Amino acid sequence: MNATLVLNADYSPLGVAPLSTLTWKEAVKLVYLNQVDIIENYSDWFVHSPSVTMPVPSVVVSKTFVKSGRTVKFNKSNLCIRDDYTCQYCGEKFELKSLTMEHVTPRCLGGKTNWTNVAMACNRCNTRKGHRTDVNPMRMPYKPLIGEIVSKVKKTPIVIPNENWIPYIGWSPSLVSVRKPYIDKSMLQE
């Protein structure tokens, strides 16, 4: 898990699905390049160079407003969010790793791998459907708007590395768990 949350100049996360994050090294680099300001630090995690000791930034904010893309990235994670982690053939809920991308019009018949032809299916339903074209998903696949994905993802539990993120990410605190990143001593040699 990356250590640093990145906010846009308006203090909203640069991206929500997934959350915009950086490794601490990337964050420190941007601080030195004067592209971001640090607004929160880890209180118990420091990095050292021969001349400087600094806390690892937990939240940084971009100095300039970044116009964010208003389209949803086509990937399995966002497909699962769109389909509520539900197999679109049997209606059961699954974890991401147990869901597969099912082509409504099979690829062998020219079906594309895109928002309007891919529905999430469990392994069993995917195998059962195979190349058939007479079996339709419960809901025909569609291209979701960013707002739909963002509001759905904010209703799912999230693990973050630092409690300082909570005021900025817009999740209900009851859905947030904090898991401190493992602090490897070797990192301190940077």
Residue numbers 138-157 binding Zn ion by CB under 5 A: none
Stretch that binds Zn ion, among 16-24, 37-45, 122-130, 131-139 (CB under 5 A): 122-130
State phi, psi for 117 to the nearest 5 degrees. -125, 0
Q: Which residues of 82-119 are buried (b: 16+ CB within 10 A; e: fewer)?
A: bbebbbbbeeeebeeeebbebbbeeeeeebeeeeebbb
Which residue, 89 or 171, has its beta carbon nearer to Zn ion? 89
Could you identify the residue written with the tokens 């049997």?
90
In the complex, minimum distance from the CB of residue 138 to Zn ion, in angstroms, rounded to a whole number: 10
- Over the window 12 to 31, marking each residue x when it contacts Zn ion by CB under 5 A and - when it does not, the resulting string is --------------------
Which residue, 138 or 175, has its beta carbon nearer to Zn ion? 138
In the complex, minimum distance from the CB of residue 78 to Zn ion, in angstroms, rounded to a whole number: 19
Q: Can residue 122 be called a binding residue for Zn ion (CB under 5 A)?
A: yes
Cβ atoms < 10 Å from Cβ of 130: 9
* Separation of alpha carbons 37 and 169, rounded Å: 17
Q: Can residue 119 be called a binding residue for Zn ion (CB under 5 A)?
A: no
Cβ-in-10-Å burial (0-12, 13-18, 19+) of 3 comes to buried
Which residue, 122 or 160, has its beta carbon nearer to Zn ion? 122
Strand runs labelled E in the chain: 4-7, 21-22, 36-48, 53-62, 99-103, 118-122, 158-160, 176-178
In the complex, minimum distance from the CB of residue 132 to Zn ion, in angstroms, rounded to a whole number: 14
Residue numbers 35-94 binding Zn ion by CB under 5 A: 87, 89-90
In the complex, minimum distance from the CB of residue 55 to Zn ion, in angstroms, rounded to a whole number: 47
Residue from 6, 27, 99, 125 touching Zn ion (CB under 5 A): that is 125
In the complex, minimum distance from the CB of residue 88 to Zn ion, in angstroms, rounded to a whole number: 8
* Separation of alpha carbons 18 and 153, rounded Å: 9
Binding interface with Zn ion (CB under 5 A): 87, 89-90, 122, 125
